[in-house]
Amino acid sequence: MCLPLGKIFSLAAIPAVLLLGSCKQGAETEQGSKGHSSTTDFEEIAGPGLSLMERQCATCHKLDSEAGGPSIAPHMRELREVYRSAFPEREAYVQAMVDFSQNPNRESVLMQESLERYGLMPKLGVSEQDLRAIAQYLYTHDVGSKAWLESIAGMARGGAASAKMEGADKDLLELARDYALGTKQALGGRLLGAIQEYGVPGAVDFCHIEALPITDSMSTHYGARIRRVSDRPRNPGNAANAEELAYIEALKAAKSKGEDLPPMLQEEKGLDRAYFAIESNDMCLKCHGQKGADIADETWQSLRERYPDDKAFGYGSGEIRGIFVVEIPQSVEE
């Protein structure tokens, strides 16, 4: 689910939200749709749902409808109200959001105009637990309202230190997954914006010039080294080494048997390394699918010109396309 906070932030430092240092006690509520109340009480603004919403969703849906820049997905407040209207009961609302986010499909889309304008959101791989926390937060808070925006308009924070502050008990694999998902969403959000502005052939230039720098900027942001590698790279800089190739082959073997292969964590002196699968989705196929069927002729020509040694095409939906490698210095974890 992409449910971002505010405008699309600079990739050099996607900020999270610090709670205000002081605030009046006492509740200030607004009535949500269908007579449900939505709290904006400061003490209840905090919680895992808020930080998860910002961390997992901050590249697609604008929180502030008056924020500048192009939109690449429905505004958060609009999305919230559509779901509240369709699912007035809390559990049904939460379950509907979780189900769609885990399996985006055209049959379940509630906002047809947005589907035509932005296309179908990709599957992001956010855990059910995190999706449920985000959806519950959205149901009980008037996200996007003036009162809510004022309540969260505090200082920005970011990077590995903030991730540890948000979840000191979070294990290393979860932390690394957050970094991989954050990078995936930064890349995906910017790519969607480029497609919207320039079309798929024009977005090839974006990937050619910006993909590696964006990944590097997210590494700086988190205080970790983050890479995307593949056995069939488009850019030679994304070629997997022998150890990474072995994990990719294990992923493919498990996939062929209908099994799930969990992320892998390696610990060595001074460094911990985690591997996470990258699967192709419908959006990926516009540049990584079958020539003629998925990849338009103009896009194919752009790819040939910019990547003469390209191997990253011919995929189908749901196939293993590579892995994220997240390396975290052990000093960051302490």
Average pLDDT, the chain: 76
pLDDT band of residue 55 (cuts 50, 70, 90) is low
pLDDT in tens, 179-231: 888 888 778 777 877 887 788 888 898 888 888 888 888 888 888 999 999 99
C-alpha angle 112-126-262 in degrees, rounded to nearest 5:
135
The average pLDDT across 286-301 equals: 92
Which of the two residues, 241 and 259, has the higher pLDDT score? 241
User: What is the C-alpha to C-alpha distance for residues 28 and 210, in angstroms, rounded to an integer?
Assistant: 44
Domain 16-157 has CATH 1.10.3470: no
Which pLDDT does position 6 carry in this prediction?
30
pLDDT in tens, 221-257: 888 999 999 999 999 989 999 999 999 999 999 989 9
Q: H-type helices in 16-89, by residue range?
A: 42-45, 48-57, 76-86
Which pLDDT does position 292 carry in this prediction?
87
Q: Nearest CA to 33 among 95, 97, 67, 79?
A: 79
Which pLDDT does position 115 carry in this prediction?
81
Residue 40 has pLDDT above 60, yes or no: no
Q: What is the 3-class SS of 109-129, one letter each residue?
A: CCCHHHHHHHCCCCCCCCCHH
Distances (CA, A) of 167 to 160, 206, 333: 11, 34, 11
Spatial CB neighbours of 139, under 8 Å, sequence gap ≥ 6: 36, 84, 90, 93, 94
Which pLDDT does position 168 carry in this prediction?
38
Domain boundaries, the chain: 16-157, 172-333
The region of weakest confidence among 57-66, 107-116, 178-187, 270-279 is 57-66
Do 329 and 177 meet the contact criterion of CB atoms below 8 Å apart? no
The average pLDDT across 302-306 equals: 93
Which pLDDT does position 218 carry in this prediction?
86
Which of the two residues, 41 and 6, has the higher pLDDT score? 41
Residue 88 has pLDDT above 80, yes or no: yes
pLDDT in tens, 111-163: 888 887 777 777 666 788 889 999 999 998 888 888 887 777 642 333 333 34
First to last CA, the chain: 30
